[in-house]
Structure 1
Amino acid sequence: MIKKITIFLLLVALAAAAGYGYVTKQVEQYIAQPLNIEQEQIFTLKSGTGFNRVLSQLTEKGIIVGSDFSKLVRRFHPELTQLKAGTYLLEPNTTLAQTLELLKSGKEHQFAITFVEGSTFKEWRQALETAEYLEHEMSGLSEAEIAQKLGLEHDKLEGLMLAETYHYTFGTSDLDILKRASSKLQAILDEQWQQRQEDLPLKTPYEALILASIIEKETAVEEERERVASVFVNRLNKRMRLQTDPTVIYGMGDKYDGNIRKKDLRTPTPYNTYTIFGLPPTPIAMPGEASIAAALNPEASNYLYFVASGKGGHVFSKSLAEHNRAVRAYLKQLRSNQ
């Protein structure tokens, strides 16, 4: 009798072991399955969502194949269950186990938005309005209201942000991006202002930004920035009008159709430096660090004019006669390229 009981218990133990082994294998196969996606996909885990609910969401979205053993993952792999809310990037060729490790890590996906040097606040606002996974708090606000929320003293935001690439996570607001861009610009401006040349015709850091924005729009050639800056500084010192086309274009606003005509140069606006003396009232674009540095540390020169060379750079002149010859050469170059 004892022998029969022993055999029975042994069979039960073997059956239990086999059953446990089968269940273990099914759970391991379940978490080892590759994600059913062919390209990167965003997945948002909301705060308060339970572990089993996350598995259900992944199944409902077709990202994984469901299993009757999914509820046992918590028992066999408790180390995978402490998931953190956030927005994550799921990638092809990764397993469910690797995905759960990602959701456990809290390493949210970093989205990116890029603003190029020389762009305008209008262009920034358009880019922010269409940015994915960004909270849009600027909607319906005027530029002055946005400036107030950012704690800035100027109602016009042109030139007050540093153009570069900004990374953000889900739930970041457009105002958060602008605050970071403004702080970065201010830090650079403060540093460059402390290192500026003496006797510049610039009374405030804000005037330096205005000049830097003009330099930014006038040249994209790195080695020319200080020389372009010297032309404008020399003209300011001599009380000559700056006569720079980008200020005319900015003053025209939506009327600009890609061409500047003689009447545009003669039409007064607060920004038209063909009709006003000194700097325009605000920056005309978002300047980069190099243009700010150039505005505050221009090359020592006697140049008063420059014109495009037709070959990517500019020709600089010290007199109007030299400048007129350079203009004729540029026009000749344009005709030869047609």
Structure 2
Amino acid sequence: MALIKKLIVTGVIVSVAAVASFQWWAGRPIATDGPAIPFAVASGSGVAGAAQQMVTAGIPINTFLFGVLARVSGQASRIKAGSYEFEPNTSPRGLLDKLVRGDFAQDQLTVIEGWTFRQMRQVVDAAPNLKHDTVKLSDEELLAKVGPEYKAAEGLFFPDTYLFARGSSDLDIYKQAHEAMMKRLKAAWDKRAEGLPYTNPYQALIMASLVEKETGKKSERAMIAGVFVNRLRTGMLLQTDPTVIYGMGDKYAGKIRKKDLETDTPYNTYTRPGLPPTPIALPGVESLTAALAPAKTDALYFVSRGDGTSHFSDNLNDHNKAVNQYQRNGASQ
């Protein structure tokens, strides 16, 4: 009996020591040298597969003990596939928590206000840490997956900085940007001024894109919108150069000639009345706000002063004087 008791006591001591040792291991930082280590857990890997993929990536973790930790903690089935980064001195328990949370390694991509959708696509296509599921799709095919109720993609994506998990689909970026634009457009439309010459939010989006391309000075956007709204109300041509440039496409070489102003395209607001058929760029929130809350002004004309600001006039005679003063060799708006 004494021998049995001794063996039992010894077994208990060994078990307690083993548990303590295991707990110490689970909470002890994994010693690594150098920067964070990127790794990926493939879909359907399971605990053993995830542990082996970490070792292959260069993380010196005991795969057997990591599997035990995952099972004992009841989290073995909760590990999420994806791309991660192992930060130096993370413990096995911290690493497991990261996999369970799906704390993916993130990157970011910035879409600039005033870019065209073509420019946005070029940047998304060039992003190295995205899965490029849309690169072979036409604009129309891509739009069908994001906003099928629209016929043209231009203007429908909000310019912003987007975070994404490395290895995620580029389609997710387009979905985020489209949803963001629709949300902001709706918010601006719901607060719109009375009596605006738009029949729907899409027309307001078109106007916002014109404002975005006409000035980089945020303080003038409401005035620019006010001029365009006044022109629409009175039946005047908008006569805005950015629409002509957009309609020229690849033919634009950095300068607009008189011939270009006279060449009719669906986007030439010198030859066609009203708004162009689609937006001409990706407008930011200030331009959306300006389009739906334009300045109350009598101005019908504006011309660049050459310093980033504009001179506004409410009659053609004053406008021509301003053109002579600020752009003797320039074209009027």
Q: Normalized against structure 1, the TM-score is what? A: 0.80
CA deviation string 1:280-320 (max 9, x = no partner): 11110111222122112211111111122232222212223
- Contact 2:155–2:283, Cα closer than 8 Å, also in 1: yes
Q: 1:273: how far off?
A: 1.5
Equivalent residue in structure 2 for 1:84, among 56, 63, 79: 79
1:147 to 130, 143, 148: 143
1:123 to 114, 119, 122: 119
SS in 2 for 1:226: helix
2:294 alignment partner, SS class: coil
Q: Is residue 2:212 matched to residue 1:216?
A: yes
Q: 259, 284, 291: which is aligned to 2:280? A: 284
Whole-angstrom CA distance in 2 between matches of 1:188 and 1:63: 44
SS at match of 2:278: coil
Q: Which residue of 1 aligns with 2:171?
A: 175
Compared CA separation, residues 255 and 36, structure 1 to 2 (3 A): farther
Q: Do the aligned residues in 2 keep the contact of 1:37 with 1:91 (CA within 8 Å)?
A: no
Aligned equivalent of 2:228, options 228, 232, 236: 232
Query: Hey, what does 2:186 align to over in structure 1?
Result: 190
Q: What is the letter of the counterpart of residue 79 of structure 1?
A: S
Show structure 1 runs of 4+ deviating over 4 A.
9-31, 73-77
Give the aligned partner of residue 59 of structure 1.
55
Structure whose alpha-carbon radius of gyration is higher: 1
CA–CA distance in structure 2, aligned partners of residues 281 and 37 of structure 1: 58
How far the C-alpha of 1:79 sits from its partner, in A, is: 3.0
> 1:254 corresponds to which letter in structure 2?
D
Question: What residue in structure 2 maps to residue 71 of structure 1?
Answer: 64
- For 1:58-107, what per-residue CA distance to the aligned partner results, in whole angstroms no more than 9, with x for missing partners? 2322232x66xx52455578339635123323224534443233223333
Provide closer, same or farther for how the CA distance between residues 261 and 95 of structure 1 changes in structure 2, counting only shifts above 3 A.
farther
Aligned to 1:259: 255
Q: One-letter code of the match for 1:167?
A: L
| Native 8 Å contact 2:226 2:299 kept in 1 | yes
Within 1, Cα distance between the matches of 2:154 and 2:143?
10
3-state SS in 1 of match to 2:212: helix
AA of the residue aligned to 1:84: I
The one-letter code sitting in structure 2 at the alignment partner of 1:239 is G
CA distance in 1: counterparts of 2:305 and 2:46, whole angstroms: 66
Cα deviation for residue 26 of structure 1 reads: 8.9
Task: Report the count of equivalent residues.
Answer: 326
Q: Whole-Å Cα distance in 1 between the matches of residues 90 and 157 of structure 2?
A: 39
For the Cα contact (< 8 Å) 1:162–1:287, is it kept in 2? Answer: yes
Aligned CA distance change for structure 1 residues 35 and 223 (closer, same or farther; 3 Å)? farther
Matching residue's letter, 1:122? R
Q: Structure 1 CA distance, aligned partners of 2:21 and 2:176?
A: 50
Contact 2:40 2:53 in 1 (8 A): no
Q: Hey, what's the Cα distance between the residues in 1 that align with 2:132 and 2:240?
A: 36
Unaligned runs of 5+ in 2: none
The 1:244–1:61 alpha-carbon spacing in structure 2 relative to 1, beyond 3 Å, is: same
Instruction: Point out where structure 1 has 5 or more consecutive residues left out of the alignment.
Output: none
Give yes or no for contact 2:80–2:101 (8 Å, CA) kept in 1.
no
What are the residue-to-residue correspondences of 1:304-323 with 2, within 5 Å? 304-323=300-319
Code of the residue aligned with 2:64 in structure 1: it is: K
SS at match of 1:310: coil
Percent identity over the alignment is 41
By how many angstroms is 1:216 displaced? 0.9
Q: 1:160 aligns with which of 156, 161, 179?
A: 156
1:261 is displaced (CA, Å) by 2.7
